[in-house]
Amino acid sequence: MTGLMCVSFILALWIGAGLNVRATPPKAGGVTNGDGFSKYYVKPYIRIPPFLIGILFALVYKEYKEQSGSSYKILNSIKQSKIAKNSILFIGFALMLLLTFLPRQVQLKDDAWPDWVHITWRAFQKSAYVVATTMVILPSLLGDNTLLKRFLCHPLLVPLARLSFTAYLVHLFWIYQSYFSATSSFHFTYGNVTYNTLATGTVSFIGGLILSLLIEVPMANIESVYLNNAKKPNKDKQVEKDVSAFTGANSSVIPISSKVSNNV
């Protein structure tokens, strides 16, 4: 996976340089660099590193939960150190804020950054944000009852957490429908963007709920039934094995049915 990430980063730098991608978000009523969107932004070989980072951390966390491997030793040492946990949390928040607000410089003045900074920013921006998010939630995953953990575990947010992936799948369709069907140009202000964000989030979670009820939940139930049926014979065999091992190890044990037949 590390090799795949390196290849993806190299492609992002190479293709990004050829297309002259910019760190600035879309403006002036649309995507200013059509090739940068269609040939760069949406391509899976450009977007894959954040997903690979998530898989890698899942494997690391699995070792931690199983208390095996070097991952357990590293995370356990972090867990025992309050300084380490707070430092990781602080660095994660700082990196997240930096990634959010630093592009404001080129929003105000496009030539504030040289071209190579634009290209490098685009290549590593999403991966850096995933790393920052992981660092922020790490103390909670290690067992600390942080404010973030208490907030995310609130009963009102639990249903939304279960719908977050399906909401992610449908949110872009609503954004496209909302903007491309507009009959007048959209004026970006803090109020307008906040209103659109709340509206898009609401519609996305409603669509995610419908998608979950129609597809995700039924498929999960079918999968559960088949997995349980597949595992049931193995459990029966294990019970028989345990019983035979017990009776074999204790030859003086006589089955109840034999006692009954002898008495009769």
Amino acid letter for position 210: I
Write the CA distances from 7 to 15, 59, 160, integer angstroms.
12, 21, 35
**pLDDT score at 88:** 92
Q: What is the pLDDT of residues 164-199, one digit of tens each?
A: 888 888 888 888 888 778 777 777 788 888 888 898
Tokens representing 183?
Answer: 């009959």
pTM of the entire predicted model: 0.70
For the residues 58-78, what does the mean pLDDT come to? 89
Residues 6+ apart with CB under 8 A from 56: 1, 2
CA dist 12 and 235 (Å) reads: 49
**Higher-pLDDT residue of 9, 20:** 9
Neighbours of 81 (CB within 10 A): 12
Signed CA dihedral, 150, 151, 155, 160: sign only: negative
pLDDT digits (tens, 9 = 90+) for 47-65: 999 999 999 999 999 999 8
| Averaged pLDDT for residues 115-135 | 92
- The DSSP symbol for 113 reads S
CA 153/CA 160 separation, integer angstroms? 11
* Structure confidence at residue 21 as a pLDDT band (50, 70, 90): confident
Question: In percent, how much of the chain has pLDDT > 70?
Answer: 83
Helix (H, G, I), strand (E, B) or coil at 63: helix
pLDDT for 234 beyond 60: no
Q: Is 243 a residue whose pLDDT tops 70?
A: no
Give bridge partners of residue 30 from the DSSP assignment: 27
Read off the pLDDT band of 128 (50, 70, 90): very high
Distances (CA, A) of 206 to 63, 211, 217: 36, 9, 15
